[in-house]
Structure 1
Amino acid sequence: MEVDEEENNDSISEEEEDSDREPNPKHCFITNLPDQLLLLILSFLPILDAINTSFLSTRWRYLWTLTTNLDFDQRLIVSPTEDFSKSRRLFASFVDRALLLHEGSEINRLRIWFNYDHELYESHLSSWIRFAILRNVKELDLQLEREWEDNDFYFWDMPFLFNPSVFIRDSVRVLKLCLPGLDPTPDMRFGSITTLHLKQIGLTERTIPDLLNFCPHLENLVLDHVGLYMAPLKIYSVKLKTLSIVNSIQMNGSVEIDAPNLLSFTCIRYLADDYLIKDVSSLVEAVIIFSLSNAFFQNWRKIVNALTHVRSLKVQSWWWMQHLQQTGEYSEEILPHKFRYLELETVLSKMELPGIARILRISPNLETMVLESDMVDQMVYMADNNASEESYTGDYLEKVFTGSPLYLKKLKITSFLATDNEIELVKYLLKYGVALEKIILVPYKTGLVSVSPEHLAERFQELQAFPRSSKDAEILLL
């Protein structure tokens, strides 16, 4: 939706004549609801939609000015066809005026997504944050995105001119920052913060220890696209409960984690030279996704082997395939086998089927397995490395696919294409799954690979007719 300055002034003007018109009978029911309920409804709307309700009737004219959730997104307010400079100017003007007219005494959540130019709009940003702090904001979410060149990897070296001392306030519980160039200072003490989400921020050797000291009650930490150069990343905390490190770079350094009360750990494509997992004894769930490269295999093993007690795990089956190629067999030492829930990123190739079967064999507590397609990443790697689809078929596959009963209760295959490998795996579970209750097949629905409804129906009927060990087992095609 395109907004210019004249339209913006008209949309929130007290002299707007259209706001005096009587409500349509269709709106009478919602209009007669109590103010608190109407404000709750408005709190789920983007700010421009909330403001536009002022046209409904006199009852609605100023109601939006009392909402406790304010969500400003430049992409939704200003037309994407505008050039960067005009878009920033229109958006900043809109936010300034909306906050000026807002009359609520407290703010639960303020979110601002802005294609930020710190040299020109620093004063605007400062006033927006001061508004939130003065209104005792509970959640402050500042996403100051920038346009990066393809070779601009070192965004953390960018100077940040904004004075971080404005963040000092005991009311803030959740703080989400995408502020390139931000570096913690002793002024940045967040005594009340329990959740901290940092994105596109450069970290120094003292950054994380300082942040943990500045946030003594921190329970949830997310590091998204952060950069750390020539320094170890050390996370020592007895309060931390969830930790997520996503698409980040650790150049010439290691990562150390010592968090005895950590319950959830996510590590997705975090590049580091070494990993040291000291104490994560309370960990319940983990997501470990690496770039598919032999260079990271040993580090992957270090992390996964430290998660022997987790109950829920998401990984890539490719790593077990690598272990099979290196050792010729599967060892229980390569993975924790006490989990109850396992999600695998896989293409269900013939190379991976023996590994999946072996996982089922050595995981007596496993109740639910989800196989999620990651075709592009894994197929590209297999093609680049001339991986053969025939490597582990025949006698070896038959040997792995026999043996004692399986106790898996539920299998879900997303992006189901009804390939021979998928059908073979499902039949294997039907044959040996004595506790099997449900198999859910979700057909592949993007346009990259097509599968006819007739083919799906034919293979589904084939599976329905296949004998099964569990009389309670059912197969669902969604």
Structure 2
Amino acid sequence: MASGFPSLHTLSLSLVALHKQSCLMDLFTEKSFPRLKKLSLDSCLQMKQLKVSCRALKELVIENCFQLHGLDISCLVLEDLRVENCFEVYNPKSWIKVKAPCLRILSWKHNQVAGIICLENLTSLDEAFISFPILYEDGSTQKFHSVYNFLAGLCHARALTLETQCIEILSNKKCFGSFYLFDKLKVLELHTGFNKNNVSGLAFLFGSCPILHTLILRIVNDLKIERKMWSKDIWDPSTSKEEQYWESKIQILKPFLDHIKVVKIHGFLDCENEVSLVKFLLKHGKDLEEMTLCTADCNYRDLLRRQKVRSQMMGFSWASSNAKLAFY
């Protein structure tokens, strides 16, 4: 290692045992790997801290390094960063530092969030995919702040995908003030169980995206979640608690409602939460052009109820004369 690898372009390490050297803070440097463009680390056992600062690196993949609790990345031309199945245990002293002004794609899958987070100058970020394991069992405010700070580091993203746990975590505490967390975001995809407990997290995210163009909701059908079916008649003037909640957020959500053009909901089951949101978006989405509701197969009895609900939706108040509502 003294002379380094001056001509190496691609390096992949798998199943490396690091029991005697768990800290790799001076290995992947400009001096040792001046031309390295692709680096992949998979199942590096007992690797607890890692620093990567190769000046030519464009793609970095770190997978199944479960003991990792410290990550420092400083790569000025890095474009693609993927970290999966690392940071197995939440530790308030764990840390992530990423300085990558050319980063276009960030994938953070099935990793606990670190306690100390510094995502710096991610000004070129096009796509980010974020998935946290459940980590709010004790209702820790510090954990909630960690998740929030991580998302705040993605403020330059143009497209963002958040899995179920992210929304539940944001719904678990009172959200921070009404300012725009994602002021460049055009496409937002959310995976959610869509129960009554995470509606506040959805509202917070919508309010954080003032120029959002496309919203994609993928509803996770969790059998443990009790879902109340929409059963109102079209002439019933009363409003449900869900409808009242959305209506109370009109001022905070105004920029979002003025810009949203495309809404796609997958796994739509005609539940009260879902229909209330659709009704709200149709009523206040001034620039809405397309709303697509993709439903699962159902039996004959459910089909009749579904047809009734669809008829009601077509009769809802629509703010946009150009909007089209489609069912699949």
TM-score bracket, shorter-length normalisation:
0.7 to 0.9
1:264 aligned onto 2:105: yes
1:64-83 → structure 2 map (5 Å cutoff): none
| Cα separation, 2, equivalents of 1:450 and 1:408 | 34
1:297–1:351: structure 2 CA closer, same or farther, 3 Å change rule? same
Aligned partner (choices 51, 65, 84) of residue 246 of structure 1: 84
- Structure 2, gaps ≥5 residues long: 227-240
TM-score by length of 2: 0.72
| Cα separation, 2, equivalents of 1:425 and 1:457 | 18
- 1:440 maps to which residue? 292
Which protein has the larger Cα radius of gyration, Structure 1 or Structure 2? Answer: 1
TM superposition shift of 1:243: 0.8
Other structure's SS at 1:233 match: strand
Structure having the higher helix fraction is 1
Aligned partner (choices 190, 196, 202) of residue 45 of structure 2: 202
Other structure's SS at 1:348 match: coil
TM superposition shift of 1:435: 0.9
Residue type of the alignment partner of 2:145: Q
| Cα separation, 2, equivalents of 1:323 and 1:348 | 13
Structure having the higher strand fraction is 2
Say if 1:200 and 1:224, in contact at 8 Å, map to a contact too: yes
Report how many aligned residue pairs link the two structures.
291
TM superposition shift of 1:369: 0.6
| Cα separation, 2, equivalents of 1:393 and 1:419 | 11
Aligned partner (choices 325, 335, 341) of residue 181 of structure 2: 335
TM-score by length of 1: 0.52
TM superposition shift of 1:438: 0.9
- 2:323 maps to which residue? 473
Cα deviation digits, residues 124-151 of structure 1 (max 9, x gap): xxxxxxxxxxxxxxxxxxxxxxxxxxxx
1:249-398 → structure 2 map (5 Å cutoff): 249=87, 253-271=94-112, 272-294=114-136, 295=140, 296-316=143-163, 319=166, 322-323=169-170, 326-327=173-174, 331-333=177-179, 335-376=181-222, 379=225, 393=242, 395-398=244-247
- Structure 1, gaps ≥5 residues long: 1-167, 381-391
**RMSD of equivalent CA atoms:** 3.9
Residue type of the alignment partner of 1:415: G
TM superposition shift of 1:346: 1.3
TM superposition shift of 1:290: 1.3
| Cα separation, 2, equivalents of 1:345 and 1:451 | 28
Say if 1:318 and 1:378, in contact at 8 Å, map to a contact too: no
Say if 2:180 and 2:208, in contact at 8 Å, map to a contact too: no
TM superposition shift of 1:177: 5.3
Aligned partner (choices 238, 241, 260) of residue 408 of structure 1: 260
TM superposition shift of 1:276: 2.5
| Cα separation, 2, equivalents of 1:279 and 1:407 | 26
Other structure's SS at 1:457 match: helix
Other structure's SS at 2:39 match: strand
1:125-136 → structure 2 map (5 Å cutoff): none
Aligned partner (choices 64, 69, 75) of residue 237 of structure 1: 75
1:411–1:177: structure 2 CA closer, same or farther, 3 Å change rule? farther
| Cα separation, 2, equivalents of 1:453 and 1:441 | 15
Say if 1:427 and 1:463, in contact at 8 Å, map to a contact too: yes
Say if 1:297 and 1:319, in contact at 8 Å, map to a contact too: no
Residue type of the alignment partner of 1:301: Y
TM superposition shift of 1:330: 5.7
| Cα separation, 2, equivalents of 1:254 and 1:330 | 22
- 1:163 maps to which residue? none
Say if 2:119 and 2:154, in contact at 8 Å, map to a contact too: no
Aligned partner (choices 181, 184, 197) of residue 17 of structure 2: 181
Residue type of the alignment partner of 2:198: E
The percent of aligned pairs where both chains have the same amino acid is 23
TM superposition shift of 1:172: 6.3
Residue type of the alignment partner of 1:299: S
| Cα separation, 2, equivalents of 1:297 and 1:334 | 18
Aligned partner (choices 307, 311, 314) of residue 457 of structure 1: 307
